[in-house]
């Protein structure tokens, strides 16, 4: 069992020693079903830290902001940033290391194992509560969640309201860390790609209809892009206006910018956006499912990424983020790579 007091003790110690600039962790928020990211700079603030299944955000996204901030500073504080990661989040760090976006010295990785659990899925809870507002939650011996509303108190086994990705998770503990809490037991879910079953069973036309319907809902708020730790391009294909202009951007370069995808949320343009995003995440997505969670119109974006994850696994035995030294999926070639899909 992960002991929160030990976590706080370590956090306090490294802040006092000045080992890290600050710590990115989880704290209570106004929404009792969701922890809030917290940035702790002072040792006395470590009591704000929490660790429970409401800590579902992937905090790695904040490392991208940190890198940009550091680049702007004249004399940046070069100490690492402490960051709490779950198994999935830790693999995001590995991908960033693999892509040389951050260096190992930039981070002090505080890994917490999800052990045999995971994080919860708000939407699943709301379904169970039938729109009643939760007032108080408690975790009963790490097995159940006890939710009290105005009317009643219900006890739900955690397994029933865990996020889909946790049910399909194969490594529930951080694969890279400087300090570590919990166990390192590998999981072997019987069906690691079960969530794809339904969509894969559909005919080509039905699949098209499904995505046509789903993607036509997109309002192009780009929440999926904003939350994704892998979406760190300075300029995105969908908004060339946001061109990263620097002193050495020539007029010609600006003039050469092409609008590959229109900004308007039309179905065809939405397809363009989401498919480019999915392809750019192939071999990089670590299935934190944040994109799907933050989507205000409930597009099942995780399915796209999961499908690519499955293809990469089956064709190239590739899984993203296992090791910062592994060659990236799209830029590596092995002689035994299958070629039979090339026609």
Partner 1 sequence: MKKRTGVFVCHCGINIAGTVDVKNVAEDLAKHPDVVHSEDYVYMCSDPGQKLIENSIKEHNLDSVVVACCSPNLHETTFRNCAKAAGINEFQCEIANIREQCSWVHKDKLKATEKAKKITRSTVEHVVKNKSLEPISIPVTRRGLVIGGGIAGIQAALDMANSGYEVVLVEKSPSIGGHMIQLSETFPTLDCSQCILTPKMVDVSKHPKIKLLTYSEVQEISGYVGNFKAKILKKPTYVDPDKCTLCDKCLDVCPIVVPNEFDLGLTARKAIYIPFPQAIPATYTLDIANCPGLLPIACGKCIDVCEPGAIDYDMKPEMIEEEIGSIVLATGYDLYDKENMKEYGSGKYADVLDGLQFERLLSASGPTMGEVLRPSDHKVPKEVVFIQCVGSRDPELHCAYCSKICCMYTAKHAMLYKHHVPDGQAYVFYIDIRSGGKNYEEFVQRAKEEDGVVYLRGKVSKIFEENGKITVWGVDTLAGKDIEINADMVVLATAMRPAKGAEEFAKKLKVSLDKDGFLSEAHPKLRPVESVTAGLFFAGAAQAPKDIPEAVAQASGAAAKAIIILSQDHLFHSPMVAKVSLNLCSGCGMCVDVCPYDALSLKNNKAEVNEVLCEGCGTCSATCLRAAIEVKNITPGQIHEMIDASVGG
263 binds partner 1 (CB under 8 A): no
69 binds partner 1 (CB under 8 A): no
Query: Could you tell me the smallest distance in angstroms from the CB atom of residue 100 to partner 1?
Result: 5
**Local structure of 114: helix, strand or coil:** coil
Return d(Cα 27, Cα 50) in angstroms, integer.
Answer: 5
Query: Could you tell me the smallest distance in angstroms from the CB atom of residue 279 to partner 1?
Result: 9
246 binds partner 1 (CB under 8 A): yes
Token pair for 102: 């951050």
Token pair for 190: 């019987």
CB burial of 314-336 (b: ≥16 within 10 Å; e: otherwise) equals eebebbbbbebebeebeeeeeee
Query: Could you tell me the smallest distance in angstroms from the CB atom of residue 339 to partner 1?
Result: 12
105 binds partner 1 (CB under 8 A): no
DSSP result, 130-197: TTPPP-EEEEETTTEEEEE-SS-EEEEEHHHHB-HHHHT-S--S-SS-SEEES--PPP--S-TTGGGH
**CB nearer partner 1, residue 284 or residue 302:** 284
The candidate with the shortest Cα–Cα distance to 324, out of 106, 67, 26, is: 106
What is the DSSP pairing of strand 144-148 with strand 153-157?
A: antiparallel
278 binds partner 1 (CB under 8 A): no
Give the range of 1-9, 187-195, 267-275, 326-334 binding partner 1 by CB under 8 A.
Answer: 326-334
Length of the chain: 343
Give the range of 36-44, 213-221, 245-253, 267-275 binding partner 1 by CB under 8 A.
Answer: 245-253
DSSP result, 210-260: HHHHHHHT-----HHHHH-TT---SS-TT-GGG----TT--HHHHHT---S
Instruction: List the strands of the sheet with 144-148, edge to edge.
Output: 136-140, 144-148, 153-157
Binder of partner 1 out of 331, 339, 340, 341 (CB under 8 A): 331
245 binds partner 1 (CB under 8 A): yes
Binder of partner 1 out of 29, 32, 99, 148 (CB under 8 A): 99
Return d(Cα 119, Cα 34) in angstroms, integer.
Answer: 10
Q: Is the CB of residue 330 less than 8 Å from the CB of residue 283?
A: yes
**CB nearer partner 1, residue 1 or residue 71:** 71
Binder of partner 1 out of 74, 100, 152, 190 (CB under 8 A): 100
**CB nearer partner 1, residue 296 or residue 327:** 327
338 binds partner 1 (CB under 8 A): no
257 binds partner 1 (CB under 8 A): yes
Binder of partner 1 out of 29, 148, 216, 328 (CB under 8 A): 328
Query: Could you tell me the smallest distance in angstroms from the CB atom of residue 321 to partner 1?
Result: 14
**CB nearer partner 1, residue 297 or residue 330:** 330
**CB nearer partner 1, residue 219 or residue 330:** 330
- The residues that touch partner 1, with contacts defined as CB under 8 A, are 99-101, 232-235, 237, 244-246, 248-249, 253, 256-258, 260, 280, 327-328, 330-333
């Amino acid at each position: 069992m992960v002991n929160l007091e030990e976590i706080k003790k370590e956090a306090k110690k490294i802040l006092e020693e000045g080992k890290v600039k600050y710590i990115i962790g989880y704290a209570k928020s106004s929404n009792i079903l969701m922890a809030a990211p917290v940035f702790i700079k002072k040792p006395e603030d470590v009591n704000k830290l929490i660790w429970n299944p409401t800590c579902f955000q992937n905090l790695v996204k904040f490392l991208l902001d940190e890198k940009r901030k550091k680049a702007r500073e004249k004399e940046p504080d070069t100490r690492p940033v402490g960051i709490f990661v779950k198994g999935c989040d830790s693999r995001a760090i590995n991908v960033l290391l693999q892509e040389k976006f951050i260096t190992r010295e930039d981070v002090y990785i505080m890994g917490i194992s999800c052990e045999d659990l995971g994080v919860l899925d708000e939407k699943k809870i709301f379904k169970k509560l039938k729109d009643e507002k939760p007032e108080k939650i408690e975790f009963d011996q790490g097995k159940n969640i006890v939710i009290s509303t105005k009317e009643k108190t219900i006890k739900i086994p955690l397994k029933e309201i865990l996020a889909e990705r946790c049910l399909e998770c194969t490594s529930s503990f951080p694969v890279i860390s400087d300090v570590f809490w919990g166990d390192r037991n590998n999981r072997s879910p019987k069906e690691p790609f079960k969530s794809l079953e339904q969509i894969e069973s559909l005919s080509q036309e039905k699949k098209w209809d499904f995505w046509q319907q789903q993607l036509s809902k997109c309002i192009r708020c780009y929440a999926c892009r904003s939350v994704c730790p892998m979406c760190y391009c300075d300029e995105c294909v969908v908004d060339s206006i946001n061109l990263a202009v620097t002193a050495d951007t020539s007029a010609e370069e600006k003039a050469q910018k092409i609008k590959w995808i229109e900004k308007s949320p039309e179905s065809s343009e939405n397809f363009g956006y989401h498919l480019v995003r999915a392809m750019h995440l192939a071999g990089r997505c670590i299935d934190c499912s944040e994109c799907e969670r933050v989507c205000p119109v409930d597009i099942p974006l995780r399915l796209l990424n999961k499908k690519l994850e499955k293809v990469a696994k089956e064709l190239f035995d590739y899984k993203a983020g296992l090791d910062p030294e592994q060659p990236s999926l799209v830029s590596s070639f092995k002689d035994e790579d299958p070629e039979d899909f090339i026609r």
